[in-house]
Structure 1
Amino acid sequence: MTIDAKPDKRSAWPDKPCAGVCLHLTSLPGPYGIGELGAAAFDFIDTLAKMRLQVWQILPAGPTGFGDSPYQPLSDRAGNEMLIDVAALVDDGLLEPDDLDTLRELPVDTVDFAALLPRKTAILGLAASRFSGRASAALKLAYQDFIEAHDARWLRDYARFRALKDCNGQKSWTTWSSPVRDRDPAAMRRFEKAARQAIENVRICQFLYYRQWRKLRAYARKQGVQLFGDLPIYVAPDSVDAWTSRELLHMNDDGTPRLVAGVPPDYFSADGQLWGNPVYNWPAHAENGFQWWLDRLRHALAQTDLLRIDHFRGFESYWAVPGAATSARDGEWLPGPGNALFDAIRDALGLDSIVAEDLGLITAEVETLRRQHGLPGMKVLQFELAREDFNLADIKADCVCYTATHDSDTTRGWLNGSPGDTRKRSEIRTTKKRALQFTAGTAKSIHRDLIRLAFSSEARLAIAPMQDYLGLGSSARLNKPGNPENNWRWRMRDDHMDDVLIADIANCVSLAGRSC
């Protein structure tokens, strides 16, 4: 089973106006503590089809580490094992129904990562340990095909990395003993021999994840729903990618970052954001024709129909902060790879499925880079309405128009401001007045009014977070940049959707002429 062969597409970037939703996979409803690639995901696709929404945008789906952020995955290639549908493993004979009892004790409207991770990890380990004795012949054959296709390319390194983290109390790889930290061949052979079953269990879980992902994607295509993925620009400092590719990153000999990424002060944070990711050694990437990036994108593009690349402006120039700094204010702008990278991507893979996340401090040079390569950008109405010269006609077809993003408050929360809002009260009042004027709506209906405004723009694709379709307030906010606590936890409930709301959204899509 290969997961990197890019399938034929009905389309990439839509050729006529359509609409979609953004919902993180972990936010799906369900009884096992976190959204999964199971019945709720298939039901959600059915619901999207009823609402005439043709695009489901998801956040990065890699395995998360400290902080639970999908934008700091432990691997660029691996899937998040916490998303595996455990009920399907019962059907596969790898689990018994009562094996899931501890997951049923978890809350259904939020992800309690501290409680979830040890429970589900143990359950998945149990399923993996039973694989050789319980899996069907067909399942074992598919597993062998998966190993042959992916082990040498990324899976073996990922499995060793995860097993080593388990042996080292989940500490960062930079703290490991130098032989394994530096991937000494003899030390790695000894470890592989000693941890054979643990490494094999990681491989099995990745096979189970991607088997379920392929089924979900096939069903989405059958229902006329495109999956819109998301790729962080940087790899996480504590990731298999950093562990195995130090020469392509600005890192010290011990693996600690010499320069880290972030952004200067902006709308989201008065002090800027210090991400902590090692920045790229772009000359080293250019020397081999950006092959690492081509391999990365080939894998990502094979998983979804469209792909958003996060922090596009970092390809023109990026904010680099000394590794020992404690504030993003201490950074400076350095040149990115620019045209050379995107010329290589176009020649090898094409650019018709890629969307540029061009938010934040966007200069004329960044805009030129995006337009030169024909990449759609993004417009967010919450940000646009803060401009005195806002004009809906300025939102052109070559972009995705959003009401809000995963980093911003829900529209209802944004209208009146919420705790931690970086805007002054006067700015909040002015923006609220402008929003109500442009939408001709009310504070009570602002979520629906802003969706209609996005739908009425020229943008080829208009998307709202699920929280805005549901009309939820700040308590449903998914992430607050700069605040490390209580992010990525919100979940839908089964009772959030009803036939009246589904019909209302479908009607809104149709009236806007976005029923592709």
Structure 2
Amino acid sequence: MPFERSSGLLLHITSLPSYGGIGDLGPAAYAFADFLAAGKQRLWQVLPLSPTGYGNSPYAALSAFAGNPLLISLEKLSEWGWIAGSRIAGLPGHSGNIHFEEVDKVKTPLLEEAARNFLHHHQEPGLSKQWVRFEGYCKENATWLNDYARYSMLRRKFNGAGWNSWPREYAYRDEGALSRLEKEQGEALAIEQVIQFAFDEQWVALRQYCAERDIHFIGDVAIFVNYDSADVWTHRDIFELNEDLSPVRVSGVPPDYFSETGQRWGNPIYRWDVLESRGFDWWVDRIRRAHSLYDLIRLDHFRGFEAYWSIPAEDETAVNGEWIKAPGAALFSKLQEALGELPFIAEDLGLITDEVDAIREQFRLPGMRILQFGFSNRGAHNYLPHRYEKNSVVYTGTHDNDTTRGWWENGASEAEKAAVEAYVNTGNEGAVWPLIRAAATSVADICLFPVQDVLELGSEARMNVPSRPEDNWTWRCPEGKLMKDLAKRLATLSEVTDRERLPDSEEE
């Protein structure tokens, strides 16, 4: 699906300088939307918004459908009358990186308190209209919300243990045990549902605010789901699991130049034959939910929809894996039939075969180009602007890369630096803004810049180091850095590269 010529910024919600120690959907999000509008940036890309598990990675989520409760703004809840302002006083401030355990320890009880207040006082005049919306929300999202509430409540009951280690009646979803749970823990389950409703209320409001300013969201859907998730617990029949509920095989990528043993991600493998026989119903529901949250959807690890690296679950490395074909074309055809034109961006990085390109081209999906990848040798030049197709998306770097300044100062080889100098002539300016201009002036329909790059921040602002188990996803944008002069610089670049939307009277 080709997109209008435009540009935007990549900034995950957690990286906003919000009150409370973590970015959220409160005032800082609206301030960032105003900055985007002033800079004539029409796209805001975020990482998956799902609740996170071990390691705090948004790509290892506890649910493919739910929202992350920690993204809910307590300030907004206080404005709604769900919780007194005095109860949220004294939380961590707007500055500094995220300390997830501390944030969870303080924020989660306050979210539960606010949800409980809403349950007990929803008949009051200020809350009655929200209660009507809550009842509608529960009906509309019943296919995933009820089971997520059970999963989340049980996970807390058993001190964060994975669902496969719960007592047998819960791990195997005994109907009698689940019925008793409904009767005995009704309020706890309702609180989980209310928290999800609060997330959706705040997200919808922010999305509407952005739409009024011609800003659209790019979301992110990971191809695989976490083993310890509501999805696998609820839908065991669509994953390759043994009788004891352990995975038969898991996902990853094979050995390559970067790793002699490959990468063992550990996500369970889909039973694609079962999914296809059912019309890919779970995937249709998943993408329908994603499309209700985002305007465009980046499909992570797109090549896995053509063939995926399948590893014996008992292996500690990815060495003994094998490529297994996936029914990607059949899946996308069904999604198109069920949901209409597909607003997908294909994350087609890494070893891409002709078969992968054929699926992407069949459905007219734009691929990704990363400028940092383009300067190592002639084979890397597909990532440089003179090789781009119009229907593509260019980034200076992504959440998995070092910042452009960090790469230039610490990661780029002398040969790469010489190639950059020849290509964009950095002069005394450094490499960051010359590469931003190279992306913006390219033929690619969409160009996206991490906020760290427009601020010219170094490696200290890196979001993620793949395969590093700890200390990722913690970066927050320093407060007060997104100033008017920077917005003007972005706006001028958007104007001269024809990426801003013209008034209707000026459009051809």
Per the normalisation by structure 1, the TM-score is 0.93
Contact 1:416 1:429 in 2 (8 A): no
2:168 maps to 1:168: no
Contact 1:266 1:360 in 2 (8 A): no
* SS of 2:141 mapped into structure 1: helix
2:139 to 140, 145, 148: 148
Distance, in Å, in 1 between the alignment partners of 2:320 and 2:301 is 19
2:434 maps to 1:449: yes
* SS of 1:276 mapped into structure 2: strand
* SS of 2:89 mapped into structure 1: helix
* SS of 1:261 mapped into structure 2: strand
Q: Which residue pairs with 1:335 in the alignment? A: 325
Q: Which residue pairs with 1:383 in the alignment? A: 373
Distance, in Å, in 1 between the alignment partners of 2:99 and 2:428 is 32
Aligned in 2, Cα 1:81/1:13: closer, same or farther, shift over 3 Å?
A: farther
Q: Which residue pairs with 2:121 in the alignment? A: 134
- CA deviation digits over 1:9-37, x for unaligned, max 9? xxx7523x211111111001112111111
- CA deviation digits over 1:204-224, x for unaligned, max 9? 101111011111111111000
Per-residue deviation at 1:196? 1.7
* SS of 2:44 mapped into structure 1: strand
1:82 to 53, 70, 73: 70
* SS of 1:91 mapped into structure 2: helix
Hey, which bits of structure 1, 4+ residues long, moved more than 6 A?
Answer: none
Identity %: 38
Aligned in 2, Cα 1:13/1:229: closer, same or farther, shift over 3 Å?
A: farther
Q: Which residue pairs with 1:5 in the alignment? A: none
Distance, in Å, in 2 between the alignment partners of 1:351 and 1:59 is 22
Contact 2:372 2:404 in 1 (8 A): yes
Contact 1:93 1:134 in 2 (8 A): no
Per-residue deviation at 1:133? 3.1
Please give the residue correspondences for 1:4-153 in structure 2 after superposition, counting only pairs within 5 Å. 13-15=2-4, 17-104=5-92, 108-135=95-122, 136-151=127-142, 153=143
* SS of 1:302 mapped into structure 2: helix
2:169 to 152, 160, 179: 179
Q: What is the RMSD computed on CA atoms of the aligned residues?
A: 1.6
Contact 2:305 2:326 in 1 (8 A): yes
Distance, in Å, in 1 between the alignment partners of 2:2 and 2:96 is 33
Per-residue deviation at 1:515? 1.5
* SS of 2:377 mapped into structure 1: coil
Q: Which residue pairs with 1:273 in the alignment? A: 263
* SS of 1:441 mapped into structure 2: coil
2:340 maps to 1:355: no
Per-residue deviation at 1:315? 0.7
Per-residue deviation at 1:254? 2.4
1:299 to 282, 286, 289: 289
Per-residue deviation at 1:514? 1.5
Distance, in Å, in 1 between the alignment partners of 2:6 and 2:316 is 43
Aligned in 2, Cα 1:107/1:224: closer, same or farther, shift over 3 Å?
A: closer
2:410 to 398, 404, 417: 417
Q: Which residue pairs with 2:505 in the alignment? A: none
Please give the residue correspondences for 1:107-506 in structure 2 after superposition, counting only pairs within 5 Å. 108-135=95-122, 136-151=127-142, 153-266=143-256, 269=259, 271-389=261-379, 390=381, 391-418=384-411, 428-442=413-427, 444-506=429-491
Letter in 2 for 1:41: A
Aligned in 2, Cα 1:335/1:122: closer, same or farther, shift over 3 Å?
A: same
* SS of 1:333 mapped into structure 2: strand
Per-residue deviation at 1:324? 1.2
Per-residue deviation at 1:268? 6.0
| Residues paired across the two proteins, number | 494
Per the normalisation by structure 2, the TM-score is 0.94
- CA deviation digits over 1:424-465, x for unaligned, max 9? xxx722112212221111475311111111112111000111
Contact 2:254 2:263 in 1 (8 A): yes
Letter in 1 for 2:104: L
Moved more, 354-363 or 258-267: 258-267
Distance, in Å, in 2 between the alignment partners of 1:286 and 1:370 is 19
Per-residue deviation at 1:107? 6.7
Query: Structure 1 regions of 5+ residues with no counterpart?
Result: 1-11, 419-426
Moved more, 232-241 or 326-335: 326-335
Distance, in Å, in 1 between the alignment partners of 2:38 and 2:285 is 36
1:507 to 492, 497, 506: 492
Distance, in Å, in 2 between the alignment partners of 1:490 and 1:247 is 38
Contact 1:415 1:443 in 2 (8 A): no
* SS of 1:346 mapped into structure 2: helix
- CA deviation digits over 1:45-64, x for unaligned, max 9? 11101101111011000111
Aligned in 2, Cα 1:267/1:197: closer, same or farther, shift over 3 Å?
A: farther
Contact 2:2 2:364 in 1 (8 A): no
